[in-house]
Structure 1
Amino acid sequence: MGEIDNESGTKVLSRRERLRAETSREIEVIALRQMADAGPGAISLRGIAREMGMTARAIYSYFPTRDDLITALISGIGASLAEALETATQAVPATDPGGRLVAWGQALREWALANPESFRLFYGHPVPGYQPPEGGPVDHTARRVCRHLTFLVAAVWLDAPYDRPEKTSWSDLHPDYVAKIREDLPDVPPAAAALALRVWGRMHGLVALEIDGHIHPVARDPAALHHAEMLDLVRSLNLA
């Protein structure tokens, strides 16, 4: 087992633990490549074992089932995305809610372009036969991303002169979504939660089109197009 570093307080992995972590990461990288080459249904533990020169028994000691591998993939992807989004917005002062939303949207695009297969797996390409465990690591990371954006949008809703003529109640939203929002952000009103969904739709939609190859044939500068959309989004909320 690893030891605790007395100066930093962090755990120092043993050589065996480092090798195991490196092998797990290599398995995940090959799984993503399998998906990129032949779709989500192509992820195969036995195929990965053959490529790595491992026996099936050996690879099952890392991931007992294909679903365990997919769960690890998605939860790791979600954590990476959440960290990128949080880092980008923390670089903008809290007094600039519009700038924070733009930073969030730009970080989402940059991360997706750097990790297209991860983006597809996390958001749009379900794996045949796979059902994430309820309340597990996949749900945790997805909620982390959702909670962060909802928090940013709620700050706009509460503090900015946003024109909100619509009347929204919790009954207008899905009960599962309501339960998560009210648990994670109990001070957020239903109208702010609904606004977060609309903001998310605009941010995610253009990125998904670009990742799937639909933007480059029609736009010479996808980055400028995306930035213009983010600026229009914050202007629609009466933000600078």
Structure 2
Amino acid sequence: MEEQTPNRRARLRAETGAEIKTIALKLMAASGPDAITLRAIARDMGMTAGAIYGYYATRDDLITTLIRDVHTSLIDTLEAARDTAPRDDPAGRVLSWARAFREWALAHPEGFRLVYGDPVPGYVAPDGGAAPEAQRRTCSGLTGLVAAAWAQAEPRQPRGDHQWSDFDPHLAALVREQFPGLPPAAVALALRVWGRLHGLVALEVYGHLRHQTREPEKVYREEMLDLLSSLGLIPRG
């Protein structure tokens, strides 16, 4: 038998690790998040449970890796889509981000549910969360969209009395570091924008729009155009 080279062994290990994650998401899609177990994955792959433990010491390790990979894939997609619009077109950047968010969620419903939906029963995330870097980039990206529109958006916002103490300290510190001069009211607006970007997509992913409309994409686009109007932005073209 031909001896495997270190490079071949590494490639086979990477392929097996990727297959484990793929099957975990398929199990979740079929039977919910509590279906993700190392034994179930081993059965599906025709491996022993002991062999699976050679890749992930615990189920929590696997879940953490899944969440980190999925969330990183999402934010990579959103940043790339946003940057197809020029920096001097804040409306175009919001629309590009929103369109990419919906398209990614519909293409990866299990990933969407893992990051934004059903908690995995019994899962304990590591200190700092499963995907702190992806979360930071997502917060920064959304806040950046609002920061670029703040001059037009501020006069249209309801009067509020937001303070930095209203928000998570880590979020407040991130915003104050990356967007100096941006007031707490803009952070509140960023959270509201997130809610509007996320809301209809979540309803669609979970099947709640299926019987209400044949054109969920049209409804979502109209919501995004209304969002732009509330920010004082006008789409080009």
TM (norm. structure 1) is 0.89
| Equivalent of 2:17 in 24, 27, 30 | 24
Unmatched tracts of structure 2, length 5 or more: 1-5
Change (3 A) 1:98 1:36: same
Unmatched tracts of structure 1, length 5 or more: 1-12
Task: Kindly indicate whether residue 179 of structure 2 is the aligned counterpart of residue 181 of structure 1.
Answer: no
Question: How many residues are matched?
Answer: 228
Residue 135 of structure 1 deviates from its aligned partner by: 2.3
Contact 2:147 2:179 in 1 (8 A): no
CA distance in 2, matches of 1:15, 1:214: 46
CA distance in 1, matches of 2:174, 2:77: 22
Residue of structure 2 in register with 1:213 after alignment:
207
TM (norm. structure 2) is 0.90
Residue of structure 1 in register with 2:147 after alignment:
154
Deviations 1:17-67 (CA, angstroms, capped at 9, x unpaired): 211111111000110111111111110101111211212221111110000
Residue of structure 2 in register with 1:193 after alignment:
187
CA distance in 2, matches of 1:183, 1:67: 33
Alignment of 1:80-229 (within 5 A): 80-135=73-128, 137-158=130-151, 162-164=155-157, 165-183=159-177, 185-229=179-223
Query: What SS does structure 2 have at the residue aligned with 1:104?
Result: helix
CA distance in 1, matches of 2:181, 2:13: 43
Residue 155 of structure 1 deviates from its aligned partner by: 1.3
Deviations 1:183-216 (CA, angstroms, capped at 9, x unpaired): 5545532111111000000110010000011112
CA distance in 2, matches of 1:90, 1:187: 23
Corresponding letter in the other structure for 1:211: V
**Could you tell which deviates more after superposition, 67-76 or 55-64?**
55-64
Change (3 A) 1:23 1:183: farther
Contact 2:153 2:230 in 1 (8 A): no
CA distance in 1, matches of 2:174, 2:153: 25
Deviations 1:64-103 (CA, angstroms, capped at 9, x unpaired): 0000000000000011100110111100011110111111
Corresponding letter in the other structure for 1:170: W
Residue 138 of structure 1 deviates from its aligned partner by: 1.5
Residue of structure 2 in register with 1:70 after alignment:
63
Contact 1:75 1:141 in 2 (8 A): yes
Contact 2:71 2:115 in 1 (8 A): yes
**Could you tell which deviates more after superposition, 185-194 or 36-45?**
185-194
Residue of structure 2 in register with 1:5 after alignment:
none
Residue of structure 1 in register with 2:53 after alignment:
60
Corresponding letter in the other structure for 1:21: A
Residue 166 of structure 1 deviates from its aligned partner by: 2.8
Query: What SS does structure 2 have at the residue aligned with 1:14?
Result: helix
Residue of structure 2 in register with 1:42 after alignment:
35
Corresponding letter in the other structure for 1:18: R
